[in-house]
Structure 1
Amino acid sequence: MAVPASIVPFVIIFVTTNVTPQDIFAVGLFPFMAAAFAAVTRIMLQAYRFKYFIRKFIGQDISSTGRTMAARLAGEFVTYTTPSYVGGEFVRIAWMSKQGVPPGKAAWVATMEIIADVFAVTILGFIAGALAIMKGGTTIGITVILLALPTFLFWFIVIVYSAKRNMQVPMFIVRIVERFAQKKAEQYIGQVNKALGDLCTMSRENFASSRVIRPFVVGLAITFASYVAYGVSFLVLAETIGSGIGLFDSLMAVAASNVVGNIPITIGGSGLTELGIWAYVSNLSTIPNFEEIAQDSKLNVIIAWRIASYHVPLVIMWIAIMKLAIGKKPAEAAPS
């Protein structure tokens, strides 16, 4: 479902503009492969951060490095195939719980990953937005800042609130669950509230201790490194048309596109991500018309980048989630 949905914007571009599949392939095989490699490096760094957080916050490895990173990639498949890049944390929590990790601790690891991602992308988004405004790109600059601000504030409030008192499932959600799952509603809500309570307990214990600072800073550094790799994925393709865009500008462009792609409208930010990066590299100062977008020579590079940075990693994530879903076949019983 995600792949066909993500291809729709490309089809629209091919039909309504002068861009053709041949233009996309014109970027060259080596630059495309280099961009794809950089994009895969990004998700591998995120997978390693997951393993690092498990070791630091749980106190030990719960599986081999390969299996742990594969579980992170499997969760990322869900993240990449839902609006607003959400859902992967539930896969990771379920996997950790299956390995014997208490739900509260599993939720804590997932939450720290989310916070690291949110802090990295919003901080980069604020910088990108401010720089765009300074360069005259008021429309894209203000848009990026306004989109990044609510996400940053929400998670900041969650951190502060959870460190002071326990969170519980809101009553309006309880009523919805009771309406659709009358018999098991109490059991489900109880399990979720217990996990939230354990999470808040972990939050109070960790935020009151200096032990959490170093692991989180290291995790945040890994997250920023993953975004540098993301920036490289666009840089190598932008160089094929002599755009003159440097690494820092590429990093700012992909950060802005990520913020715009987080709007929960399309699967995996399809269409929005491309629009966001086009608007940023074009230093957009007004509301663009369709003809202006359609005639831009950067479209072929942007589409090639999207394929390299989204569809190629998606294949790797799909393999990971299939392995996680199928698992090892049980050994056949020895003949008597």
Structure 2
Amino acid sequence: MNWRIIAIPITLIPIFIIAIQFDIQIEDVLAIGIFPFIGAIVAMMIKLVLQGIKFAYITRKYLGDFDSFLKLVGVRVGSEFIKFTTPMFIGAEFVVIYYLHKKGAKPAKSAWIAIMDIVTEVFAAGLLSIMAGIIALLSGAYVVAAVILATSVIITSLWMVMFFLSSKHTFQVPKVLENLAKRFAKEKGTKAIEKTNIWMEEVCTMSRENLKTSESKKIFTISFLFSLASWSFYGISFMIIAMGTGFVINAFDSIMAVMGANAIGNLPITIGGSGLAEFGIIAYINNLDPFAFEISEGVVAWDAVIGWRIATYYVPIVITWLLLVKLALSKIPKSQSS
């Protein structure tokens, strides 16, 4: 976990490059004003809390009165620290699986809850990002639209296909990976593959048992709506910051800009999408040639984007880290596990 803390300063490198390249001074960012910063932070925290409420809702539906509702919310919010410090869209689900299993839930059921959580998250983000990509395409930003659509369609399709196919097909570790594990890890590799295959079979069995039930369909629908709401607040956070610089953007356009940027930031290139998300917003809103960053007057500038990044990444990362350590990674007395 320590390497993730060390990785955080690395995310500042693209910010410094942008600041130097476009002569962004600290006073330019501070000129946005304290209230827009606070407003953006609040919007971002609402996004995270909605994710936590959704996770607690799913967990309670499948496990009953399993744990404190507020603690489940806190664990899910804390798990976002992994996403913030990982160069991919995924990551947080492993924390919640670990926590649920540590509290006494069976591995397969813990995985099923995490999968339901992440799939609805990806589905909502994917649909919003695809909308953003289509709008960019219609606006003539062909390169930006291509990157957004390619990333969104691939990630969303992969998750959704795997999710729904799991109810009809039992997935196992691919033979190539199995052979490599057995060859290099010998007996330990063989045992790890066997355990993984058993776990995957149990998850697929749960998928067959649950996906076709009306209760699970209801849980999926409500969770999806929670995800749409949480991503919307993520977009609104930029609208609030932009207002502090005098740039007027409505809520819908702000959500589309941020979700387009989010799709670009999901490329497995930089930690937490640092640099990519900032580029995505500028390119999307200003309809720029992605290889020429001259920004005309009267449109959103880099200071607003850097301010948004600070409010929605560097402040929440401290909060999510504290919750991760305090709740998800804390030791649980045997008397509390079940």
**TM-score, scaled relative to structure 2:** 0.91
- Shift in Å, 1:325: 2.8
Inter-partner Cα distance in structure 2 for 1:179 and 1:72: 37
Partner residue of 2:306 out of 287, 303, 306 = 303
* Residue 231 of structure 1: aligned partner: 235
Deviations 1:4-45 (A, max 9, x none): 011111111222222111111110011101101111111111
Inter-partner Cα distance in structure 1 for 2:150 and 2:11: 25
The answer on whether the counterparts of 1:74 and 1:317 sit within 8 Å (CA) in structure 2 is yes
* Residue 19 of structure 2: aligned partner: 14
Inter-partner Cα distance in structure 2 for 1:102 and 1:328: 16
* Residue 39 of structure 1: aligned partner: 44
* 1:271 counterpart letter in structure 2: G
Q: Does 1:314 align with 2:281?
A: no
Inter-partner Cα distance in structure 2 for 1:298 and 1:141: 20
Matched residue SS, 1:69? helix
Inter-partner Cα distance in structure 1 for 2:119 and 2:325: 27
Inter-partner Cα distance in structure 1 for 2:183 and 2:79: 29
Deviations 1:85-135 (A, max 9, x none): 322211111111111111111111111112111111110011111112222
Q: Does 1:55 align with 2:60?
A: yes
* Residue 334 of structure 1: aligned partner: none
- Shift in Å, 1:202: 1.1
Q: Does 1:102 align with 2:106?
A: yes
Inter-partner Cα distance in structure 2 for 1:326 and 1:96: 12
What does residue range 227-266 of structure 1 map to in structure 2 within 5 Å?
A: 227-266=231-270
The answer on whether the counterparts of 2:129 and 2:152 sit within 8 Å (CA) in structure 1 is yes
Gaps of 5+ in 1: 332-336
* 2:34 counterpart letter in structure 1: L
What does residue range 124-143 of structure 1 map to in structure 2 within 5 Å?
A: 124-143=128-147
What does residue range 1-336 of structure 1 map to in structure 2 within 5 Å?
A: 1-56=6-61, 58-284=62-288, 286-290=289-293, 292=294, 298-323=301-326, 324-327=328-331
Deviations 1:118-156 (A, max 9, x none): 111110011111112222323322321121111122122
* 1:82 counterpart letter in structure 2: T
The answer on whether the counterparts of 1:18 and 1:294 sit within 8 Å (CA) in structure 2 is no
CA RMSD of aligned residues (A): 2.0
Deviations 1:232-260 (A, max 9, x none): 11011111233221000011011101100
* 2:223 counterpart letter in structure 1: G
Deviations 1:45-67 (A, max 9, x none): 101111001112x2413211222
* 1:14 counterpart letter in structure 2: A
* 1:221 counterpart letter in structure 2: L
- Shift in Å, 1:162: 0.9
Question: Cα–Cα, structure 1 residues 158 and 330, in superposed 2: closer, same or farther, change >3 Å?
Answer: closer
Inter-partner Cα distance in structure 2 for 1:97 and 1:313: 26
Question: Cα–Cα, structure 1 residues 36 and 171, in superposed 2: closer, same or farther, change >3 Å?
Answer: same
Inter-partner Cα distance in structure 2 for 1:249 and 1:114: 25
Identity %: 36
Gaps of 5+ in 2: 1-5
The answer on whether the counterparts of 1:16 and 1:294 sit within 8 Å (CA) in structure 2 is no
The answer on whether the counterparts of 1:19 and 1:300 sit within 8 Å (CA) in structure 2 is yes
Question: Cα–Cα, structure 1 residues 15 and 315, in superposed 2: closer, same or farther, change >3 Å?
Answer: same
Aligned pair count?
Answer: 328
**TM-score, scaled relative to structure 1:** 0.92
Inter-partner Cα distance in structure 1 for 2:65 and 2:144: 43
Runs of 4+ aligned structure 1 residues displaced above 3 Å come to: 293-297, 326-331
